[in-house]
Structure 1
Amino acid sequence: MPRGYYCPPCYEGWWPCNESDERYFLPAQQRLTFVLVHGSWADAHFWDGVAAVLRSRGHAVYTPEYAGHGKDPNKNVTHAMITKSVVDFITKLNLRNFVLVGHSFGGTVIQKVAEQVPDRIKRLVFWDAFVLKDGESVVDEFPAQMRQSFEQLRASSMDDTIMLPFPLFRDFFVNTATLDEAKQMYLSVTPEPAKPLFEKLDLKAFYALSMPKSYLYFYQDNALPQGEGFGWHPHMSIRLGQSRLIVGDGDHFTDSRTRPVMLAQKIYEAGRD
């Protein structure tokens, strides 16, 4: 293979890789720095497979953990505390010129992070993520029945958290997975702090920012039911104004585990110049 060129990795038959066929040689990838922010009912390990793929291609990848998640036993956290966790991570490492990626609830986190460190960010990427309007909370974007279910789960907890029942997780978060894959992924699901999901966020500063943005939408993502006035795309994505749209075939959680190469490529496509 000529120096300075690469052959994209084969995945699911999407790319007819053949190292001896120059038709499939592409210019070497632009090396990027990614900061990947996970969503609810997950922690930084959500990104392990994707981060490994991106690093193998020469990118720098960081996966901050935020308050109330991972090994943090304190579930009594606020959205501001979560945002501060990510901002502190970025400033402590003095990260600059990076692509900030938010998944699901992580979209609201990167909205608030962008307000605080806009000069450090190269591009924002929302992957099936909430893009809240000024003054909204995450649950404001739920259909009435879904919101009622979450309120009931919150009320039944002893520590103001919400734990996803397996049937809900299976149908809405890992709908393309096999049953065995779904059960394995459910083992890593832990109760989610409820308060940040119900907090209304002041996002005036976010909507005054002018930085490149992308939305990555997976067709089979059913975590937020699609319908009039709801859903990921175009309901959320259109709020970004001028932005890049990248689409893929997948659901909310499964592909981070089962197809990290595909997901890493989609994130790269959303984040590159």
Structure 2
Amino acid sequence: METLHGNSDERRLVFVLVHGAWHHGGHWAATAEELRRRGHKVHAPTVTGHGPGAARNVTHTDGVASIVDYLDEHQLNEIVLVGHSFGGTIISKVAEQIPDRIRRLVYFNAFVLPDGGSVFDEIPRDMARMMRRSLVDGTVMLPFEMWRERFVNDADLAVATRTFRTLSPEPVAMLEDHLDLRQFYKLLDAGRLRSSYLYATDDNSLPPGEASGWHPRFSSRLGLCRLVQMPGSHEALLTRPGLLARKLVEAGRD
């Protein structure tokens, strides 16, 4: 494996960054730039059904297929596959299909669902009700107040407002679909998938605590995994891209 600048502690990695709900691949731009500056290769595809003008009548299976197709089209191997938030559900299913092409899975404040689970099963009921009240044409939108207070709580109002305008309605099926993850957990148990959990400690998008927050609730489902922590909100990819890039390397390296 090629090293960077003669530094044996940091080897050239191939990152594939999978975004969360309401986001698209472009939201990774600043973080991807930092990773490339450090010498790594970076891809940030958009999950089908996401981004401005995308068709929204899609399922979770469609979303997974769009990422597998991207990896095939670009002939990517030895991948550090990163999932942010909802993106964690995508990378778990992608890993079932191409386990031998993945160097490591990295869950960045991401959902690690149990077999048969859905995203809506894992979020507070009041949050799910609020989202469902916004249901229009099979999509749900995040209210600005929730975005500002829970998602970008480490940014000022101007940044919160500007970034909110870049979000798009989320196909509700992505959050409601219950996932068969038996193969994913078989691969984990067999040691065929290595994983890391990257936890931004100021994340308030889910209520903090062992039973309701991101860590250790989701990280513990990975079994033996590497835990990396950093300060920052759920949207550290927008508010702290330089630090996030460094921590992604810590999470993704051997």
Taking the aligned partners of 2:170 and 2:83, their CA distance within structure 1 comes to: 17
Q: 2:81 aligns with which of 100, 103, 112?
A: 100
Q: Which residue number in structure 2 is paired with residue 206 of structure 1?
A: 184
What residue is the counterpart of 1:70 in the other structure? 51
Amino acid at match of 2:123: F
- For 1:258 and 1:230, the matched residues in 2 are separated by 24
RMSD over aligned Cα, in angstroms? Answer: 1.6
2:39 aligned with 1:58, yes or no?
yes
The aligned runs of 1:72-91 (5 Å cut-off) are 72-91=53-72
Alignment of 1:230-269 (within 5 A): 230-253=212-235, 255-269=236-250
The structural deviation recorded for 1:28 is 5.9
- The alignment's TM-score, normalised by the length of structure 1, stands at 0.87
Whether contact under 8 Å (1:102, 1:126) holds in the other structure is yes
Q: Distance in 1 between matches of 2:142 and 2:88?
A: 20
Code of the aligned partner of 1:256: L
The alpha-carbon distance between structure 1 residues 216 and 228, as it changes in their structure 2 partners (threshold 3 A), is closer
**Structure 1 unaligned spans of 5+:** 7-25
Q: Secondary structure of 2:49's partner?
A: coil
Q: Which residue in the other structure is 1:174 paired with?
A: 152
Alignment match of 2:139 (pick from 161, 183, 186): 161
How many residues get paired?
A: 248
Matched, 1:195 2:173: yes
User: 2-side partners of 1:70 and 1:151: how far apart?
Assistant: 20
Q: Distance in 1 between matches of 2:139 and 2:47?
A: 16
Q: Larger relative CO (CA 8 A, sep 6+): 1 or 2? A: 2
Query: Does residue 215 of the first structure (1) align with residue 197 of the second (2)?
Result: yes
The offset of 1:27, in angstroms, is 4.5
Partner of 1:118: 99
Q: Determine which structure has more spread, i.e. the larger CA radius of gyration.
A: 1
Mind listing any 5+ residue stretches in structure 2 that lack a counterpart?
A: none
Contact 2:131 2:141 in 1 (8 A): no
Output the CA distance in 1 between the equivalents of 2:19 and 2:238: 13
Q: Identity rate of aligned residues, in percent?
A: 49
